[in-house]
Structure 1
């Protein structure tokens, strides 16, 4: 009698969050930074350490991978291609394909992971030390060794100190590139040993081009709204588009525009909606957009521009204090696994002016 076939266990494939960045052939709005890197490489005196600084999601890691691909493909030793963008490497190039697949022997990327306590993401010291050993090895393909530290402000103190030793005595034919949204959180000794590139938010035209190509189903009104709340950050725009960012922005607008009436009847329904997702993504987006709306309104008032009517409900100093308090509330709610609905209700209570 034949046996019934044994059921096979489904193999879970771990998602690679870095794949969209590694395989992205485009770099919009940062031509000067790319040209600076290419010029330095062609000079024959390439600095061994760089730092790309700027707001989250504007293309810092994209620039890092673009530089790594171009450098490791030996393009610095070849004549420039007439009319080609800085650091351009065709998608069909073998180096491009291997890096996109995460299979290049001379490239390593460090990204924040959940720390030992499981509360916040950090770049661990063990990973930093492994990257240092990697940099000290002879390039496997005869060119360069490249380490990209994406989110360097999240280096553990021991990890930062370990990298500092490599910055002081860099191995030959190696490049270390840091990206950070908070350069002031890095050690001064690290900042003094890297060549800094400051990346600015993308202009409206570049954001429009990008959103039209990546989000073709959005109508012009939705694209305009997405570009406005993303504030020149393509990564943030895509995250908001995929995570119901426009719907959450509508909730934020409803809350702020209704402050004068003090109507609390919809508070619980709104808090339920914000806290619905178990991963906390809607809550994080709600608080981030709420704080962004407050900071934008305060800046407009400080510049003599017409702020939204709700800003007049309290002094500017109180709005600044409230902005800080909302940030702490979000951090504590996430770090201590507090009830998100109650956190939203707390935030709404703080926003409502006293009568």
Structure 2
């Protein structure tokens, strides 16, 4: 995985099997029109999608002017998805100026705020893109990041594209939680599942990208990221270790928690300009509550050794069901807060008080 955004990343860390599956389909001469890449956030889905897009746009089918998917490809077939950063296709994609590539993601609403879901108008732009002929006489490629953020109308509009795929076009869908993607969409896609990476791989990635980090901090970030190099990098950039330790200290003090401690933690993650802190808080809290629930079921799994005592004590304060319930409620509220424009600070306070209430059973 190279430096910068996925469209500028020249390398992919791991996931050899996924690349091989795509290359085999390409080499067969009958490339499927839709691919669904699923896996945890930050594991490399978008990086793989842009590697696939660059590969296709740099290797047009022989009969690029018509026919169905699976037009006969050149006899000399590439053996990997690598494309030099000096290649014109790579450079135009990195600059966002390639006429045969479209990316669909959450857009801004009329008030300039970022939506938390992909709406039907975004998909209509994709439909219009696929209705046109290739600007350069080859493939047309669209990437949807991510398919689990499509609202119902957008998903239904996308389904029509999948049911009547245009010639020489490939649709690549990403999904952080594939279970949220309509089964009818899933059934029309080839699946590529990206698994969390080995700890050693994530640690090596972080050492390369953030050589300034102390070795111990790098190892802790690696473990908190749970196999996601992208999340490890986000945690490092957002001072995630500090936030994590404050959250762990807060949970460790239960059930005796001062109201001021609740307010301080809420302000830390929801202050002005703290969008990333809020997102990181949600990820860290979800991970911690999930591990508490597992500990309550008798399966102690820690991200880092410092957690063990806190997890064991909290798991003993309530049974499995209450911890699963507060885990689900907290995750849902964090997601809904931005979706329906709730007050972030108040949502965090509600969540923290809900957790405290569980420990007082």
Q: What band does the TM-score fall into relative to the shorter chain?
A: 0.7 to 0.9
Q: Is the 8 A contact 1:42 1:77 kept in 2?
A: no
Q: Which position in structure 2 is the counterpart of 1:30?
A: 15
Q: Which position in structure 1 is the counterpart of 2:122?
A: 127
Q: Does 1:354 align with 2:360?
A: yes
1:3-34, Cα deviation, whole Å (9 max, x unpaired)? xxxxxxxxxxxxxxxx7110101111211101
- Counterparts of 2:332 and 2:162, CA distance in 1: 34
Q: Which position in structure 2 is the counterpart of 1:72?
A: 57
1:293-325, Cα deviation, whole Å (9 max, x unpaired)? 110232245364375232212112111111122
Alignment of 1:192-271 (within 5 A): 192-259=187-254, 261-262=256-257, 266-271=261-266
Alignment of 1:144-163 (within 5 A): 144-163=139-158
Q: Is the 8 A contact 1:35 1:87 kept in 2?
A: no
CA change 1:275–1:172 in 2 (3 A) is: closer
Q: Which of 274, 277, 280 is 1:285 aligned to?
A: 280
CA change 1:77–1:209 in 2 (3 A) is: farther
Cα deviation, residue 333, structure 1: 3.8
Larger radius of gyration: 1
**Which secondary structure state, in structure 2, belongs to the residue aligned with residue 139 of structure 1?**
coil
- Counterparts of 1:42 and 1:101, CA distance in 2: 29
Cα deviation, residue 260, structure 1: 5.0
- Counterparts of 1:289 and 1:98, CA distance in 2: 36
Q: Does 1:98 align with 2:102?
A: no
Could you tell me which runs of 5 or more consecutive residues in structure 1 were left unpaired when the two chains were aligned. Answer: 1-18
Q: Number of matched residues?
A: 334
Could you tell me which runs of 5 or more consecutive residues in structure 2 were left unpaired when the two chains were aligned. Answer: 61-72, 302-307
1:199-221, Cα deviation, whole Å (9 max, x unpaired)? 11111121012101111111111
Q: Which position in structure 2 is the counterpart of 1:189?
A: 184
What is the alpha-carbon root mean square deviation over aligned residues? 2.4
- Counterparts of 2:87 and 2:284, CA distance in 1: 40
CA change 1:224–1:78 in 2 (3 A) is: farther
Cα deviation, residue 110, structure 1: 0.7
**Which secondary structure state, in structure 2, belongs to the residue aligned with residue 208 of structure 1?**
helix
Q: Does 1:58 align with 2:55?
A: no
CA change 1:335–1:119 in 2 (3 A) is: farther
Q: Which position in structure 1 is the counterpart of 2:160?
A: 165
Q: Is the 8 A contact 1:110 1:150 kept in 2?
A: yes
Which stretch shifts more, 193-202 or 257-266?
A: 257-266
**Which secondary structure state, in structure 2, belongs to the residue aligned with residue 46 of structure 1?**
coil
- Counterparts of 1:314 and 1:115, CA distance in 2: 42
Alignment of 1:35-46 (within 5 A): 35-46=20-31
Q: Is the 8 A contact 1:70 1:88 kept in 2?
A: yes
**Which secondary structure state, in structure 1, belongs to the residue aligned with residue 316 of structure 2?**
helix
- Counterparts of 1:122 and 1:48, CA distance in 2: 24
Q: Is the 8 A contact 2:145 2:174 kept in 1?
A: yes
TM-score, reference length from structure 2 = 0.84
- Counterparts of 2:91 and 2:126, CA distance in 1: 22
Cα deviation, residue 338, structure 1: 4.3
Cα deviation, residue 265, structure 1: 5.7
Q: Which position in structure 2 is the counterpart of 1:10?
A: none
Q: Does 1:179 align with 2:183?
A: no
